């Protein structure tokens, strides 16, 4: 009886350990933290609810995003990819600006996956609709609070940052643009 018990608990322990190791591998953990620096005056464009870094506040960085599925949960934000918009320079994928009237998005670093989704389409589902949008840029989860990032904090790791055209196509009322729980998949 004694040896049966210890064998059972041994097997249980192994199973538990494997389960923990497996779920750890599936999770996306922070890669670091950066300390916020305040933007020189006039350098952080706060139009369209862009966040500006707060001096001394700590921001978490990520090199990964949650695993992609046929229905990946994400948070939709609003960005302008036009020249002079709050997206900063031209898009990373094609070094071009994109009109706010085209359905384009930036993805968090992990999902951007070292440009592998560049100029590919994703399907965004929310509000009872599905909309196709092209990936043109990265929403950098690894760095922020510097001139290159318009003094904005690092992107969270679950962001689909979309043009106004995407919000319109989803049929979201304009006074609710800026933040919405969505799902997306590769189109």
Ligand X SMILES: *[C@@H]1O[C@H](CO)[C@@H](O)[C@H](O)[C@H]1NC(C)=O
* C-beta separation of 181 from 75 below 8 A: yes
Total number of residues binding ligand X (CB under 6 A)?
Answer: 14
Q: What is the DSSP letter of 155?
A: P
Give the separation between CA 150 and CA 134, rounded to whole angstroms. Answer: 23
Report the residue from 2, 21, 40, 47 that binds ligand X according to the rule CB under 6 A: 47
Of the ranges 11-19, 43-51, 136-144, 151-159, which one interacts with ligand X (CB under 6 A)? 43-51
CA angle 155, 140, 178 (to 5 degrees): 40
Report the residue from 86, 137, 138, 161 that binds ligand X according to the rule CB under 6 A: 86
120 binds ligand X (CB under 6 A): yes
150 binds ligand X (CB under 6 A): no
164 binds ligand X (CB under 6 A): yes
Binding residues (CB under 6 A) for ligand X: these are: 45, 47-48, 80, 82, 85-86, 100, 114, 120-121, 132, 134, 164
């Amino acid at each position: 009886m004694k040896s049966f018990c210890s064998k059972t608990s041994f097997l249980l322990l192994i199973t538990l350990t494997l389960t923990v190791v497996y779920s750890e591998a599936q999770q996306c953990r922070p890669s670091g933290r950066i300390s916020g620096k305040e933007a020189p005056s006039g350098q952080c464009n706060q139009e369209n609810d862009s966040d500006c870094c707060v001096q001394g506040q700590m921001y978490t960085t990520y090199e990964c995003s949650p695993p992609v599925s046929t229905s990946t949960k994400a948070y939709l934000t609003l960005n302008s990819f036009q020249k002079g918009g709050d997206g900063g320079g031209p898009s990373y994928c094609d070094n071009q600006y994109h009109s706010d009237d085209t359905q384009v998005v930036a993805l968090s670093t992990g999902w951007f996956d070292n440009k592998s989704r560049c100029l590919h389409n994703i399907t965004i589902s929310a509000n009872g609709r599905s909309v196709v949008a092209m990936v043109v840029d990265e929403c950098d989860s690894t760095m922020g609070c510097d001139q290159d990032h318009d003094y904005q904090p690092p992107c969270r790791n679950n962001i689909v940052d979309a043009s106004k055209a995407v919000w319109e196509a989803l049929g979201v009322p304009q006074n609710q643009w800026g933040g919405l729980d969505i799902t997306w998949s590769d189109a």
